[in-house]
Amino acid sequence: MPVFLMARKQTWRESDRMVGSTTKNLVKWVIQSDRRLVTLRCFKHAQFLGASDISQSTGRSIQNSSTALSELEKVRVAEQLEPGRRTWKKYRLTDTGKVVLEYVERELSTGMFERLADEFSFRYVRDAFRLIVTEPIIVTKGMGLRDVVEKVLEDPRTRSAYVVDSKHRVVGMIALKEMLEAIEGSLSLFENVRPPARLRQRRKLTPFSVEAHMFKPVTVMEDDRIIDALEKMIEHGQEDLPVVDENGVLIGELNGFEILLLGSEVMRRQERDLETGA
């Protein structure tokens, strides 16, 4: 297990004894629904949110976000600022909700992938994606690349951004390499030196725009096998893969570190079996 996870685990074991079964059940209930999970995690970055706020930041419909907020309210994880208001409702987390959010984050960072590894059930993309990155970064062609870089810096667990159209279908991708190339071009201008030829070709488009630097990525679906996804990563040089549905709509990201975490557990077990002669 990575060192940064081991360091947290010892402290968490002690506090886990103080958490009631109700809270643990709420954590499981939230994680079981992508709608509730995404909505709850939006409160990491804002104290007060409405359905339109969540829709704007996640790309989900207002109806989807409103339903999730109502579900969280019913179990007293969230509460309205003005109870009884019929439109433009704003919500905040209750004290219970803040505890649930904390434990959801912990489950996503450690407990979930360990249990999956213990059960050897991580054979498909659906079993692995969202272990680290639950909300892929979504951008559009018209955005500036600096905005994309700032989004990535807000959550370094993801190193890629996905370009979508009006129907949320994947039309491009900006990976770490493309961001570094853009910075290379920016430094070339700052140092007043001639940029590399590969960057000069992109100047036909708006400099430092998403459209100028994006590429068409290979994608995977939830039912694809992990080993096939890994082959795509290696063959196409993509450390992260967009997960799409049958219509090409983005539903998540399969992060290279998610495969690395699960793969390290497999290797550890193989080493142990060799040592014990199993």
Span 102-124, pLDDT tens digits: 988 887 765 554 555 444 445 78
Considering the domain 3-119, what is its CATH architecture?
A: Orthogonal Bundle (1.10)
Mean of pLDDT values over 189-216: 64
Task: Flag whether pLDDT at 5 surpasses 50.
Answer: no
Q: How sure is the predictor about 264, in pLDDT bands with cuts at 50, 70 and 90?
A: confident
- Give the Cα-Cα-Cα angle 255, 223, 135 (nearest 5 degrees): 35
Q: Where is pLDDT greater, at 227 or 163?
A: 163
Q: Tens of pLDDT along 65-100?
A: 999 999 999 999 999 998 888 888 999 999 999 999
Q: Tens of pLDDT along 218-240?
A: 999 998 988 889 999 999 999 99
Check for a shared fold between 3-119 and 125-269.
no
Mean of pLDDT values over 25-37: 86
In the prediction, which pLDDT does 111 show? Answer: 53
In the prediction, which pLDDT does 131 show? Answer: 79
Mean of pLDDT values over 263-273: 73
Q: How far is CA 168 from CA 33, 139, 140, 164, 252, in A?
A: 20, 10, 10, 5, 11
Task: Flag whether pLDDT at 190 surpasses 60.
Answer: no
Distance CA 119, CA 14 (A): 25
Q: How sure is the predictor about 8, in pLDDT bands with cuts at 50, 70 and 90?
A: very low
Q: How far is CA 234 from CA 88, 239, 267, in A?
A: 47, 8, 19
In the prediction, which pLDDT does 133 show? Answer: 84
| CA R_g for the chain | 21
| Per-domain boundaries in the chain | 3-119, 125-269
Task: Flag whether pLDDT at 207 surpasses 60.
Answer: no
Class of domain 125-269: alpha beta
Place of tokens 């667990």: 157
Mean of pLDDT values over 5-12: 44
Q: How sure is the predictor about 159, in pLDDT bands with cuts at 50, 70 and 90?
A: confident
Mean of pLDDT values over 185-211: 60
Q: How sure is the predictor about 151, in pLDDT bands with cuts at 50, 70 and 90?
A: confident
Task: Flag whether pLDDT at 201 surpasses 80.
Answer: no
- Give the Cα-Cα-Cα angle 119, 68, 33 (nearest 5 degrees): 10
Claim: this prediction has a pTM higher than 0.75: no
In the prediction, which pLDDT does 153 show? Answer: 87
In the prediction, which pLDDT does 11 show? Answer: 45
In the prediction, which pLDDT does 51 show? Answer: 93
In the prediction, which pLDDT does 155 show? Answer: 80
